[in-house]
A and B are shown apart, each in its own frame.
Chain A
């Protein structure tokens, strides 16, 4: 099982969600986060004084899938979240040791 973590621009969430549904994803978790990469921050002014906004709002999507589905999910997210501008985000893939469905107690891939 793999954990796919995607950091995307907030306003792309609806499109990504639709794409993931079409790809057959059974569930996901969404968190509001802030961060920066090459996009860095930007400066704003408030009452005549500048202040730098280092962190840019992003959305983090976490999905746990069976190994065989990883490429399909990555593809779905990449295509739907891409704008071509700096700050589109990144996707990380990590290993998951186990998963449990709380309601039934099922474990492993059956829990996904």
Chain B
């Protein structure tokens, strides 16, 4: 057998024979490839997301999308339940068309108004063009660090826009003219919601100031709430609601439908808040599930106790509103407050909403479903609560307050202008005769509960 040293010598001879071609071409090529490819490997490692995680993240975001979608069924049921049966087909019609208007306007202009990329007027307004375009890397890991694709981004945010729009429909129910409402909704969701939303989620001036709204207590709920308040003011109360200085109750026709509605909304909130993590991050999504559900629970309890105390007997519709109040309240900070804080936020929201419903009624503002109380009042509370309870030191009460006031200063007058404009042109309200007859017959020529 050859010795080790003899093998070593043979090896060296072989290497020497081949070394010229290798050293000139092969080894430099290897080194060059490594130099070129390593940064790309480094890029993937910087975003830290594999193809598998990209799929996981994106899938969760799509699940969240259809959870938010189901909130429209929730709103439809809730609003139907809390209003009179002679208007139910009209309520359902409005809720159906709102989804359509919301999604379609978002596709044409909304998405690019809310996320303009670059702002053209200060950090207040920007527009990335009409229509949707994923671009070269829209559906790759590069688009959002592997969290979701462009299409997911669009459809998820589009569902949010539609829910913002539908908040108004309950407050103006039973007396608004259908055509005027559709015009209002189109303008409101296409322009007002989106431009306002760009200030924070689109990276605008409020975002730069440090204002925080995790899932939309301000951007969705208070925006919808301001629209609802404007509608209630301009429209006026339902006939027979305030008579001889008395407040007359106009009972909803189906408490079961109302209850089904709010539970569907809670279900949707798993996606509304869970999806606002904007990835399938295990820690954050699971935390958000917990804070969201606990706030809903204490919202129910807070409303129950307040209703029992103020009204002698606990009111079911108030407790249903209380659930929503807790959910709206936690929406601004579900990922940034402690579990105990979440429960406190919900409890206070539940108490606030009951008081708000009663006070708003006393102010002779007729809100059949309590939309202003749930979405505007508790939306503001939830936003400010971030400034009080957030575990993130960058959040401050003052900044949150500035955000609240800024949105109010823009959205409320905008909604008023649209409503007054419609009042002066198309007319905002149905006639007294039509209102008495019921909007099902007068606006749709049919009855939701016809015959039976």
Q: Which A residues have a C-beta under 8 Å from some C-beta of B?
A: 44-51
User: Interface of chain B, helix or strand or loop or mixed?
Assistant: mixed
Question: Once bound together, how far apart are the Cα atoms of A44 and B248, in whole Å?
Answer: 10
A93 to chain B, nearest CB (A): 32
Residues of A within 8 A of B317 (CB): 46-47
Q: Nearest B residue to A53 by beta-carbon distance?
A: B251
Q: Which B residues have a C-beta under 8 Å from some C-beta of A?
A: 246-252, 310-311, 313, 315, 317-318, 357-358, 361, 370
Interface contact A51-B250, CB-CB below 8 Å = yes
Interface contact B251-A48, CB-CB below 8 Å = no
Q: Nearest A residue to B248 by beta-carbon distance?
A: A51
Interface contact B247-A49, CB-CB below 8 Å = yes
Q: Nearest B residue to A51 by beta-carbon distance?
A: B249
Interface contact A48-B358, CB-CB below 8 Å = yes
Residues of A within 8 A of B250 (CB): 46, 51
Q: Nearest B residue to A43 by beta-carbon distance?
A: B249
Question: Once bound together, how far apart are the Cα atoms of A47 and B356, in whole Å?
Answer: 11
Interface contact A48-B311, CB-CB below 8 Å = yes
B404 to chain A, nearest CB (A): 26
Interface contact A44-B251, CB-CB below 8 Å = yes
Question: Once bound together, how far apart are the Cα atoms of A50 and B370, in whole Å?
Answer: 17
Interface contact B318-A47, CB-CB below 8 Å = yes
Most chain A CB atoms below 10 A, which of B249, B317, B361:
B249
Question: Once bound together, how far apart are the Cα atoms of A14 and B361, in whole Å?
Answer: 43
A44 to chain B, nearest CB (A): 7
Q: Nearest A residue to B354 by beta-carbon distance?
A: A48
Question: Given B248, B252, B318, which contacts A50 in the complex, CB threshold below 8 Å?
Answer: B248
Question: Once bound together, how far apart are the Cα atoms of A27 and B265, in whole Å?
Answer: 49
A-B contact pairs, 5 of them (CB 8 A): A47-B315, A47-B317, A47-B357, A48-B311, A48-B315
Question: Once bound together, how far apart are the Cα atoms of A51 and B246, in whole Å?
Answer: 10
B316 to chain A, nearest CB (A): 10
User: Interface of chain A, helix or strand or loop or mixed?
Assistant: strand
Question: Given A44, A49, A51, which contacts B361 in the complex, CB threshold below 8 Å?
Answer: A49
Q: Nearest B residue to A46 by beta-carbon distance?
A: B249
In the complex, besides A44-B251, A49-B361, 19 extra interface pairs with C-beta distance below 8 angstroms are A44-B249, A45-B249, A45-B313, A46-B251, A46-B252, A46-B317, A47-B315, A47-B317, A47-B361, A48-B249, A48-B311, A48-B357, A48-B358, A49-B248, A49-B249, A50-B246, A50-B249, A51-B248, A51-B249
B253 to chain A, nearest CB (A): 11
- In the A-B complex, the 8 residue pairs with the smallest Cβ-Cβ separation, listed nearest first, are A46-B249, A51-B249, A49-B249, A49-B247, A48-B358, A46-B251, A51-B248, A47-B317
Question: Once bound together, how far apart are the Cα atoms of A44 and B250, in whole Å?
Answer: 10
Question: Once bound together, how far apart are the Cα atoms of A105 and B250, in whole Å?
Answer: 50
Question: Once bound together, how far apart are the Cα atoms of A49 and B357, in whole Å?
Answer: 11
Residues of B within 8 A of A45 (CB): 249, 311, 313, 315
B284 to chain A, nearest CB (A): 37
Residues of A within 8 A of B318 (CB): 47
Residues of A within 8 A of B246 (CB): 50
Q: Nearest A residue to B358 by beta-carbon distance?
A: A48
Question: Once bound together, how far apart are the Cα atoms of A58 and B177, in whole Å?
Answer: 36
Residues of A within 8 A of B252 (CB): 46
B171 to chain A, nearest CB (A): 14
B304 to chain A, nearest CB (A): 14
Interface contact B251-A51, CB-CB below 8 Å = yes
Residues of A within 8 A of B248 (CB): 49-51
B367 to chain A, nearest CB (A): 10
B315 to chain A, nearest CB (A): 6
Question: Once bound together, how far apart are the Cα atoms of A44 and B357, in whole Å?
Answer: 17
Q: Nearest A residue to B312 by beta-carbon distance?
A: A45
A54 to chain B, nearest CB (A): 13
A71 to chain B, nearest CB (A): 38
B190 to chain A, nearest CB (A): 33
B410 to chain A, nearest CB (A): 31
Question: Once bound together, how far apart are the Cα atoms of A49 and B358, in whole Å?
Answer: 8
Q: Nearest A residue to B370 by beta-carbon distance?
A: A47
Question: Once bound together, how far apart are the Cα atoms of A46 and B248, in whole Å?
Answer: 9
Question: Once bound together, how far apart are the Cα atoms of A94 and B138, in whole Å?
Answer: 82
A51 to chain B, nearest CB (A): 4
Question: Once bound together, how far apart are the Cα atoms of A91 and B313, in whole Å?
Answer: 37
Most chain A CB atoms below 10 A, which of B247, B311, B317, B357:
B247
Question: Once bound together, how far apart are the Cα atoms of A20 and B251, in whole Å?
Answer: 37
Residues of B within 8 A of A48 (CB): 247, 249, 310-311, 315, 357-358, 361
Residues of A within 8 A of B315 (CB): 45, 47-48
B317 to chain A, nearest CB (A): 6
Most chain B CB atoms below 10 A, which of A44, A45, A48, A51:
A48
